[in-house]
Structure 1
Amino acid sequence: MKMPDECIDTIMFAPCGMNCKVCYKHCYHKKPCMGCLNSDEGKPKHCRKCKIKDCMKVKGYSYCFECTDYPCKMIKNLEKSYNERYQASLMENSEFVRNNGLEVFMENQKEKYTCPKCGGIISIHDRECSECQEKMESIKSEIMKY
C-alpha cells in the first residue's frame, strides 16, 4: 500500500495516540483495518476488544488526552509497551496533537513513515515497507515541529 499523496485522513488517529495508517494490519492486508474510530471490519481481535476504545466511547471522548484521568493506567501500560517494543511514544503523539492539531501531526507522520525508496508505508511495528519490503534501520526520530 502506497502512502497517499494527500494528507493522511485524521480518522486514522486512534484514541490512544496511535496512527492507524502505519499499523502493520493496515499496511499489509487485502482488507486493511480502516482505523480505530471506524468499523471493526478488518481489525485484529485485540483491536476489536480494545478497552481503551471502549472507555472513550463510554466517557464520550474521541481521544484519551481529552479525559481528566489522562494518562490512566491503561495508557501508561500501552505507552510502556510501545516505548520498549517499537521505540515510539503514543503519549508524545497525543501531546503533539493537543498542542499543534491533528492535521499537522498527520502531515508529519506522512513524511516520517513514507519509504524513501518506493513511497510505500513503513510499518511502526516492524519498520518494513509495505511495498518493497525493505527494512528501515531507523525511522526519522524527530517529529518536525512547526
Structure 2
Amino acid sequence: MNEMKKELIAPCGMNCRLCIGYQREKNKCAGCRNEIDIRYVTKGSISCIIINCPEIKKSKSGFCFECEKMPCRRLKQLDKRYKTKYHMSMLENLNYIKEHGIDEFLANEELRWRCPNCGNIVSVHRTTCLKCNEQVK
C-alpha cells in the first residue's frame, strides 16, 4: 500500500503526493521532479526558482539541505506560507530527510497523511479527504 515515493519529494521538501495538483483528476501534475512527460508538468514547476536553482542541479541528493545557503529566501517564504496555511513545514521535512533518510521520511508520511476513515492519502491543501469527504485536519 506504499503510495509515497522518493521521486515525489521535491527539492524543497514538499511531498508532491500530498499536493492537490497531483491528486486531482483534471489537469493533473506529475510532481516537481517529473522529467518524463512534459504534458504533466505545471507552469509553477517549470518556473520554480528552487527546481531551477543551479545548486540543486549540482547536489548529490537533489535536496536543498545540501546547499550552504539553506534556507534561502525563497525556501523561507515557501515554508512560512505552508506552515501558516497548511500546518506543514518544508524545512522540517528537509531536516528530517537529512537526519533520518528518505525511507524513514516516506514511511512516516504514509502514516501521517492517511484518512482515518477510508485510508486514502489526503491533500495537504484540503481539510477533507477527496475520496470520502471526511474532515481530516
TM-score, with normalisation over the residues of structure 1?
0.82
* Cα distance in 1 for residues equivalent to 2:34 and 2:49: 16
Q: Cα offset for 1:27?
A: 1.2
Q: Cα offset for 1:33?
A: 2.2
* Cα distance in 1 for residues equivalent to 2:125 and 2:29: 15
1:118 is matched with which residue?
118
Query: Which consecutive unaligned segments of at least 5 residues does structure 2 have?
Result: none
Aligned residues: 133
2:93 is matched with which residue?
93
Structure ranking higher on relative contact order (CA contacts 8 Å, 6+ apart): 1
SS in 2 for 1:41: helix
* Cα distance in 1 for residues equivalent to 2:87 and 2:135: 15
Aligned-pair identity in percent equals: 34
CA RMSD after TM alignment: 1.8
Alignment of 1:54-133 (within 5 A): 54-56=52-54, 59-61=57-59, 62-133=62-133
* Cα distance in 2 for residues equivalent to 1:109 and 1:86: 15
TM-score, with normalisation over the residues of structure 2?
0.87
